[in-house]
Each structure stands twice: as C-alpha cells, then as structure tokens.
C-alpha cells in the first residue's frame, strides 16, 4: 500500500500543469534611450486590481505572462531606480497572444507606458463606420468586440460570448440562459437593454434564439448610464446596454 501511495504521488507531481491559452509577451525598455531593462517585475492585474500573473524580465528585457481567462487586464512594472508604472486597461480575447512594449522612466515625466504592437488596424467595415461604431470605440468608455474576437473559440450561443466580457454574468431565467450586468439597488440581477443593428430588442431574454454568433460583426457593452452614449440612452433602466451589429452587405 505504501508503494502504491508513493507511485500515485509521483504521478501527480509529474503531471503537466494546465496550459493557459491567453498570453501577454513583450519587452521592457528605458524611455530615454530605448535600451532593454532587465530584472523588472512585471505583473498582470485583472479588472478588480488583483495580481493574476507575475514574472521577471530577462537580460534582454523580455517577459511573458500567461493568464487563465479572457477579459480586461492591466500591466504593472516595478524596478529599483525607475518609476513604477501601471498601464491603461486593455482587452485580451480568448486564445489571444498579445505583444506589447513597456517603457519605464527614471524621471518625473508621466507618459503613456504601454504600446501594443500586435494589433494592426484591420480594414474598416463600411456598415460599422456609418453606424458610428469606430468613433465610439475610440472615445466611449464601454467594452468593444469585433467579429474576430466574437467568433474566436467556436462559441455557438450569444450568451456564452457575452459572458466573456468584463462585468457580464450569465444566469438562467425561466429555463433560458440570460445575461446581467451586476446587481440593482435592491440586490437583484440587473438585466441590460439589448440593441440589434440600432433597434431595441423586445425580448432580450431570447437572445440565443434570435441571433447566431456567426452573424455578428461587432458588439458594444456599456455598464450603466454614465457610460451609455446618447444614441442608446433612456432604454437601459440603469442596468447598462448591449449593442450588437450583424453582418450587412453595403
């Protein structure tokens, strides 16, 4: 029996750790001369500010972080002799490998510390352009997903895709999957208004039956009245808005 226990323990210790599909990889450089900085502690923070991954940059300033799930993250870099920096938030899609540059400064100038290198701007969709999607993506404080991100991971239901977004929760309502954005003042789930191609959806609880993931061109999520653009305001009841744009021929 003791030999069997030792065998089981050895097998467990030898089992490979689960692989994380989402990675952030890049370099840490001195802002003054663009030279790599070694021995920088680089951490990934989730939406609530909790450290979910940490590593140390090598002699070439290179670092690699692996995180468990898609979502919104920030990077924090710390090294003796340099100012600690925390990057602005960025989205990391399912199975995405993001390449970035982190710049540290020994001076007191507070400049943008993060440069994302792996996302060249794709050709713009004329339908989304006319709908004002790109302008809101650039200026509005919501969360945005384009077709490539929506369809990554082969998810078949809209509620599964929406559940990947920060702040969105998936639950069952009358036997159907539904989505909520946090909770209302009375503690109940807060169900957002849903727009499809600019028009309010009268039965948002049936979103999985009405819209197929393969038909989506882009999505926008606003978590409350303070984020919601005027075009979609007045329908959310304080619970936020989900805007879905389907593929169109123009």
Per-residue pLDDT at 80: 84
Q: Token digits for 217?
A: 């061109």
For 147, list phi and psi in degrees, rounded to 5. Answer: -55, -40
pLDDT digits over 44-66, tens only?
999 888 899 999 999 999 999 99
**Comma-separated ranges of CATH 2.170.130.10 domains in the chain:** 126-246
In CATH, which superfamily holds the domain spanning 19-116? Immunoglobulins (2.60.40.10)
Domain 126-246: give its CATH architecture: Beta Complex (2.170)
Question: Can you tell me which residue has the tokens 């948002």?
Answer: 204
Cβ-count burial 30-51 (b if 16+ within 10 Å, e if not): ebeeeeebeebbbbbbbeeeee
* Residue 250 scores a pLDDT above 70: no
Per-residue pLDDT band for 123 (boundaries 50, 70, 90) equals confident
Segment 208-246, tens digit of pLDDT: 777 888 888 998 888 778 888 888 887 655 677 889 999
């Amino acid at each position: 029996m003791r030999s069997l226990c030792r065998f089981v323990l050895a097998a467990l210790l030898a089992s490979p750790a689960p692989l994380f599909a989402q990675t952030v990889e890049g370099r840490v450089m001195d802002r003054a001369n663009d030279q790599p900085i070694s021995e920088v502690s680089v951490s990934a923070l989730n939406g609530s500010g909790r450290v979910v991954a940490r590593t140390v940059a090598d002699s070439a300033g290179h670092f690699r972080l692996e995180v468990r799930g898609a979502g919104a993250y920030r990077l924090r870099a710390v090294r003796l002799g340099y100012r600690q920096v925390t990057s602005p938030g960025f989205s990391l899609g399912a199975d995405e490998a993001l390449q970035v540059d982190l710049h540290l400064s020994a001076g007191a100038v507070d400049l943008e510390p993060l440069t994302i290198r792996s996302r060249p701007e794709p050709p713009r969709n004329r339908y989304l352009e006319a709908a004002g999607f790109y302008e809101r993506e650039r200026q509005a404080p919501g969360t945005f997903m384009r077709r490539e991100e929506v369809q990554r991971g082969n998810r078949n239901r809209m509620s599964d895709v929406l559940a990947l977004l920060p702040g969105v929760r998936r639950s069952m309502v009358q036997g159907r999957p539904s989505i909520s954005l946090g909770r209302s003042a009375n503690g109940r789930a807060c169900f957002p208004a849903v727009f499809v191609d600019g028009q309010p959806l009268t039965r948002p609880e049936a979103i999985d039956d009405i819209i197929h993931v393969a038909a989506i061109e882009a999505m926008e999520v606003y978590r409350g009245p303070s984020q919601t653009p005027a075009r979609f305001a007045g329908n959310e009841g304080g619970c936020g808005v989900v805007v879905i744009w389907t593929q169109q021929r123009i």
